[in-house]
Chain A
């Protein structure tokens, strides 16, 4: 997600490439949850010129006008418009009780459905450092100390302009959902919020979105949020999460809290999670998921397809279909394609590949990642000492291990720019 400080002062060029000025400010009408950028204020040698945001195209490192400057119409700012840099940046925002006063260090923007929208006010140290161009350096220094630079973003829908003239902005009680955004984006926003607001957001979101967003949040922060949430709510979210992700999260909690939460969860989910909890969190057992498709060896292809039709499994579970015997021992693997092209009466044991690559639950996760990468797999089955199928490690559980450190965050930011 870009920040105002990152796009402010960028060069603005005409279609011909001729530089006509710099982007001085962005204006929005402070209505709706995440107001869209509607006007750009350009600083030109002849003073400020207001144009419609749509007349600009964002390119790498600069903005390009869609027409020549003199052919671009002036777009007068309505009185209710808010100029982000002039009216918001560096200003204080006050919560409704006036008990907490913070300052807007930067403004967070996000591209949503083709529109640049104001999504949050950065009131944290990170924003301050970014403004003086020291964010990267500070991040490295914190990294050396083994810590992360603290974040503090208040999502825009929790901020409401008090009076646009004075440009004081007031925090309001969360009244709307963040659900407009993708769960991964919600997680990004949430990670940069203060502890209280994080908890408020996870109270507000619907369970499904909350669970998805929670899974995307940094592990250390997950534990903090779950600790601060009311137990019932925390248990509901954990239930909704994939068992392996829930187990990972619970692993980071103090034992007492962990047991309380597992107790509060539905029996079935709790059992899955409890089993996963017995494995070391850095082993295949710790990262595997219990969700998989295991077909009994006696089934025919037609029966197997019927079963799939009935179960309606998530797409990522259908990469590999496992065949097990009556004791749950892993016998082989087949693909959805194998199943579909086989004659209906063929037994699955006949079309399966019995030479299945499998790993022990104690295998370190780095080794799992290496195997998946080496053999171009999408998932690896996990078995116990007697060969019983316990779960699978899917590629999304280890993909982060395969990437250089910090790649995930950085690449997302550079794509968003």
Chain B
């Protein structure tokens, strides 16, 4: 995102008091952590817990470790260079590679937008609203809110709804999972054979380390005017945010593993997923789950198209900004609108089952993750660009590990699909 005059002013204010600074920079990481907890996340974690119990927790642990390291890299790049990720990709790799990176981002985020609309549809179906009504209404509402009002206000309102997901950690205490099994799941890597398990595993990685989060965190750091000095404080926030994403996932998998897995519930709809909150909320489980899912989906459906348009316009130097109209920023507004329209249209066709659709979209993220990671690793490890803030060996190894993990699962899934396993 483009650094605004207000960001520069804010930055000057930050300098004055480091302590105030710490409080003020607490944010981008945690917000990103929350945003990672979207329709794709909730659905994937619930499905994984319901279908495989605690067996894939190790993968979640690895992904979270990868996420922590990668998010930190991007935030550091933002602080050191003062530039967004797509900005750096363009300046370092030129037009052709930028197109590759941006197409990957567009497809990954496009599939996320589809997932968010599926989340909106699924949550409101719980309350008896047909998707033919809810999805277009949500798309139009988001478009109008972003174009005509301040999206910051909307963001806060939706955050409150997302708090409904606090129900998961609470439930985890109530349902008394078998902690020994949980630990075993975390420590012993196992993966059931077959295509279905690979889909679940890749979705788990893809939803935890979403390419979108890297662009978002770096843009937020730049936008907030966090520099090398302030970054010491911001780093904590970034770590916390990434851990939060992992913890969220952990509790959802554990609750689903404790409640749905023994009952052999196949999660195909929001109603199935909501049953996981049954022990906590009883008859209100559907309402609680529905509210959380609705808030998270709508929030992400707003942020996702917006940050995608920003990233792409930044890379190609096109006019961007929500205060501009179609004539001033045609590509920006066009992309933003297109993502909403396409996302909504895919979900509208009544024959598409919502939850499997969300899982597929998260697979897309996992599939495209290595592409984004290669760019990030090349940039963050570049001493010419980053100076003494370049990646150390450990960061590089963890980053490469995450890329290899996602690639291996992607290849495995492709192979399994082709061979019909």
* The one of A90, A101, A132 that contacts B90, using a Cβ cutoff of 8 Å: A90
Which residue of the partner chain, among A98, A102, A131, contacts B5 with CB atoms under 8 Å? Answer: A98
Q: Which of A89, A102, A104, A131 contacts B96 (CB under 8 A)?
A: A131
In residues 324-363 of chain A, which contact B (Cβ within 8 Å)?
A: none
Instruction: Tell me whether A62 is interfacial, beta carbon within 8 Å.
Output: no
A258 within 8 A of B: no
CB contacts (< 8 Å) of A105 on chain B: these are: 95, 317
Contact pick for B317, options A92, A98, A131, A132, CB 8 Å: A92
Is the C-beta of B227 less than 8 angstroms from some C-beta in chain A? no
Chain A residue at smallest Cβ distance from B93: A90
**Interface 1/0s, chain A 94-109, versus B by CB < 8 A?**
0000101111110000
Considering only residues 280-320 of chain A, those with a C-beta below 8 Å from chain B are none
B90 / chain A contacts, CB cutoff of 8 Å: 90, 103
**A92 vs B96: C-alpha distance in the bound complex, in angstroms?**
17
For the complex, count residues of A whose C-beta is within 8 A of B.
Answer: 15
Q: Provide the bound-state CA to CA distance between A131 and B96, in Å.
A: 8
- How many angstroms from the CA of A100 to the CA of B317 in the assembled complex? 9
B94 touches A90 (CB 8 A): yes
Contact of A123 (CB < 8 Å), options: B94, B95, B99, B317: B317
Q: Contact at B2–A90, with CB atoms within 8 Å?
A: no
Interface pair A131/B95, CB less than 8 Å apart:
yes
Residue A229 at the chain B interface, CB threshold 8 Å: no
Q: Which residues of B contact A104 (CB under 8 A)?
A: 317
Contact yes or no, A131 B319, CB < 8 A: no
B2:A131 contact, CB within 8 angstroms:
no
**Bound: A92/B316 CA distance, A:** 9
Q: State whether the Cβ of B283 lies closer than 8 Å to any Cβ in chain A.
A: no
B95 near A91: Cβ-Cβ < 8 Å = no
Q: Which residues of A contact B2 (CB under 8 A)?
A: 101
Decide yes or no whether B178 CB sits under 8 A from chain A. no
Provide the residues of chain B in CB contact with A131, threshold 8 Å. 94-96
Give the size range of B's interface with the partner.
Answer: 10 to 19
Flag whether A128 is at the interface (Cβ < 8 A).
yes
CB-CB under 8 A from A90, the residues of chain B are 90-91, 94-95
Cβ contacts under 8 Å, B87 to chain A: 92
Knowing A98-B5, A101-B2, the reply to whether A128 touches B316 (Cβ < 8 A) is yes
Mark each residue of chain A from 108 to 128: 1 if its CB lies under 8 Å from any CB of chain B, else 0: 000000000000000100001
Task: Pick the contact of A102: B94, B95, B315, B317 (CB < 8 A).
Answer: B317
Chain B contacts for A123, CB-based, 8 A: 317
0 or 1 for each of B61-90: is its CB under 8 Å from A? (1 = yes): 000000000000000000000000001001
Tell me the complex Cα distance, A57–B271, Å: 74
Structural contact, B319 and A91, CB atoms closer than 8 A: no
* Interface-centre pick from B2, B91, B96, B317 (highest chain A CB count, 10 A): B317
Cα A91 to Cα B2 in complex, Å, equals 14
Q: B1-22: which residues lie under 8 A (CB-CB) from chain A? A: 2, 5
Minimum CB–CB distance from B386 to chain A (whole Å) comes to 14
With A90-B91, A91-B91, A103-B317 as contacts: A132 and B5 at CB distance below 8 Å: no
0/1 per residue, B235-265, Cβ < 8 Å to A? 0000000000000000000000000000000
- Could you give, for residues 189-233 of chain B, a 1 whenever the CB lies within 8 Å of some chain A CB and a 0 otherwise? 000000000000000000000000000000000000000000000
Nearest Cβ on chain A to B159's Cβ, whole angstroms: 30
Most B CB contacts (10 A, CB to CB) among A92, A100, A101, A104 go to A101
A-contacting residues of B (Cβ < 8 Å)?
2, 5, 87, 90-91, 94-96, 99, 315-317, 319
- A-side residues, CB < 8 A to B, are 89-92, 98, 100-105, 123, 128, 131-132
Q: Which 3 A-B pairs have the closest CB atoms?
A: A103-B317, A131-B95, A102-B317
Known contacts A98-B5, A101-B2, A132-B96; can you find 15 more A-B pairs with CB under 8 A?
A: A90-B90, A90-B91, A90-B94, A90-B95, A100-B319, A102-B317, A103-B317, A104-B317, A105-B95, A123-B317, A128-B316, A131-B94, A131-B95, A131-B96, A132-B99
